[in-house]
Structure 1
């Protein structure tokens, strides 16, 4: 596992094992985490385009459907959504030389895809490569490049692809690749606002614009393409936000009933959490969503030195210092009581530590 110190890039030599693995594979399957986002999707379509240019057979197989605001990305229609009943995609995985997981470092984040990847790997030649930037990686891949200093997986993909250009002696960042990488970096940096948005990130974003990415059009497509049902969900949700503990904690629970009444889907909840952190006094924001199977999806956001990834990790999840999540195998009422109690205790302990 390669984890360099903060603020530097991996050079061509350090990327070499990853490049060798990609160039050695003939049939490559790319995937990302459940409930995919701009970073995972942008990284996938960019890498897929590069590998196809290099003559590889490439498929993108994701565990859940693509949020509609990313439908503008080139070749996004080529992404298949995995279904355990779909024999074609199971066969696709079993015949692959290499499976590449992007923007996740836990095998369970692949959903049911992992079961088939693991089985095919045991049978023969299949290898697994993981490229990610989150904390607390699981040791499950044949090669894992986990750059926790990076702003996004898109930043890592930019570095990897530019290293590949040196290796193969060919320009690989076309306009389509630049668009995918720009989406990845823009979304995971909160439109270039989050703490890991270093001068280098601005420089690579500028290079992607120079190579064809249109920042105005991309921003408009990602953030101004709400479906009516998503807007209805937002309206219903805003009235249900609660503030507790001296307005230091905000939380919201979204039920299946609320999703059904507004005609919304799970990915429509992603735009809501930023409102939970909109009050300046809030230190931790918690969004809980009831899943169709009765489990509860929990997303955390925080300010400053409040490491919400530690809460998520305690419940089998993970993420960043200030943005993390987990999936609880509990019904909503129990999950809400458990998580709010945990968050209250965690915030108090964090405040005590920070005062010392």
Structure 2
């Protein structure tokens, strides 16, 4: 794998099929994965704003609600929540000639939208485009650009917009587009501190700031907007963390009862996973959150060259080398017993290599 450096050049040939599909299409639906984050949301909002500059009809339809700290993106992009029965969203899918899936390279990651996407494709020949940067992509799209070297999907969408500018001769990065892309890249690089934050990423960030993104404001909106409910959950969760195996593994289970008591919601757990890896000795952490339907969402984090996406893949999930997740198809009681032991076995296997 070649990681782009400071002087990386735009690969117009790679982006040509995507550019052609976007310029030929007239009615678009954009979406991202369940439990959306800054990268998925920022990428789809940026692309929507660009496509609307070409007079295209664009709808953003997501399988789960937008977390409150990203409400500024929801306002900018007009994001609609699909609850599985939304007739307007189903109609948008049936009318669209291009669906763009951003920040998800597995079809199941779009959740409740998946069967309706399949039906719309069979009914009207809708073209599916996928843009992503995670490991182990699934071949479900007509056109896929999945580059694992990229820091974020936002980095790839930035390149796509440059390719569109080269093709059309238009300047497309407005202040609103810059804000959405900066959000995508900043959040998925951990505020520019993760390993894939190459010199090229800093160049992109500088360009986006030059074109209207406000780094201080964006950071404040995302990371300094905790609700009282989220703070209560954080307090309860920190006292329940378990650290074992000589401090190398940290785990935490958040029950529905804990969330009801604190009045918190699923997206309030996103901040908590970062605390699990804050102890220097911890090599792998797992956060398990009980869902309303009884299933469990598991989020894995790791240090160094420990590929926790392989661990998540055992349960139908995926993600990055050091950050991955899955939705467990069994009870919370079983998850609390099985997952910590699986994490232990996985780490021991890694240490014995």
TM-score (norm 1): 0.97
Q: CA deviation at 1:14?
A: 1.7
Q: Which residue of 1 aligns with 2:2?
A: 5
Q: Which residue of 2 aligns with 1:58?
A: 58
Q: Which residue of 2 aligns with 1:27?
A: 27
Q: CA deviation at 1:84?
A: 2.0
Q: Which residue of 2 aligns with 1:283?
A: 283
- Asked if 1 retains the 8 angstrom alpha-carbon contact of 2:46 and 2:178, the reply is yes
- Asked if 1 retains the 8 angstrom alpha-carbon contact of 2:276 and 2:285, the reply is yes
Q: Which residue of 2 aligns with 1:110?
A: 110
Q: CA deviation at 1:44?
A: 0.9
Q: Aligned partners of 1:76 and 1:64: how far apart in 2? A: 18
Q: Which residue of 2 aligns with 1:314?
A: 314
Q: Indicate the larger mover: 296-305 or 69-78.
A: 69-78
What do the CA deviations read for 1:127-163 (whole angstroms, capped 9, x no partner)?
1100000000011001111011100000001000011
Q: Aligned partners of 2:73 and 2:223: how far apart in 1? A: 14
Q: Which runs of 5+ in 1 are unaligned?
A: none
- Asked if 2 retains the 8 angstrom alpha-carbon contact of 1:233 and 1:258, the reply is yes
Q: Aligned partners of 1:148 and 1:10: how far apart in 2? A: 16
Q: CA deviation at 1:341?
A: 1.2
Q: Aligned partners of 2:212 and 2:10: how far apart in 1? A: 25
- Asked if 2 retains the 8 angstrom alpha-carbon contact of 1:152 and 1:189, the reply is yes
Q: Aligned partners of 2:326 and 2:336: how far apart in 1? A: 13
What do the CA deviations read for 1:68-105 (whole angstroms, capped 9, x no partner)?
00112373461110022221111110110011000000
- Asked if 1 retains the 8 angstrom alpha-carbon contact of 2:64 and 2:83, the reply is no
Q: Which residue of 2 aligns with 1:239?
A: 239
Q: Which residue of 2 aligns with 1:229?
A: 229
Q: Which residue of 2 aligns with 1:38?
A: 38
Q: Which residue of 2 aligns with 1:166?
A: 166
Cα gap change, 1:296/1:9 in structure 2, threshold over 3 Å: closer, same or farther?
Answer: farther
Q: Aligned partners of 1:257 and 1:128: how far apart in 2? A: 40
- Asked if 1 retains the 8 angstrom alpha-carbon contact of 2:66 and 2:74, the reply is no
What do the CA deviations read for 1:310-341 (whole angstroms, capped 9, x no partner)?
00011100000000000001111101221111
Q: Aligned partners of 1:214 and 1:287: how far apart in 2? A: 32
Q: Aligned partners of 2:139 and 2:125: how far apart in 1? A: 19
Q: Which residue of 2 aligns with 1:179?
A: 179
Q: Which residue of 1 aligns with 2:95?
A: 95
- Asked if 1 retains the 8 angstrom alpha-carbon contact of 2:49 and 2:77, the reply is no
CA RMSD of aligned residues (A): 1.1
Q: Which runs of 5+ in 2 are unaligned?
A: none
1:296 corresponds to 2:293: no
Tell me the SS of whatever aligns to 1:89: helix
Tell me the SS of whatever aligns to 2:72: coil
1:124 corresponds to 2:124: yes
Q: CA deviation at 1:272?
A: 0.3
Q: Which residue of 2 aligns with 1:344?
A: 344
Q: Indicate the larger mover: 119-128 or 295-304.
A: 119-128
Q: Indicate the larger mover: 71-80 or 95-104.
A: 71-80
Q: Aligned partners of 1:216 and 1:349: how far apart in 2? A: 43
What do the CA deviations read for 1:269-324 (whole angstroms, capped 9, x no partner)?
00001100010000001000000000000000000011100000111000000000
Q: CA deviation at 1:196?
A: 0.2
Tell me the SS of whatever aligns to 1:115: helix
Q: Which residue of 2 aligns with 1:331?
A: 331
Q: CA deviation at 1:5?
A: 3.3
- Asked if 1 retains the 8 angstrom alpha-carbon contact of 2:45 and 2:77, the reply is no
- Asked if 1 retains the 8 angstrom alpha-carbon contact of 2:309 and 2:321, the reply is yes
Q: Which residue of 2 aligns with 1:139?
A: 139
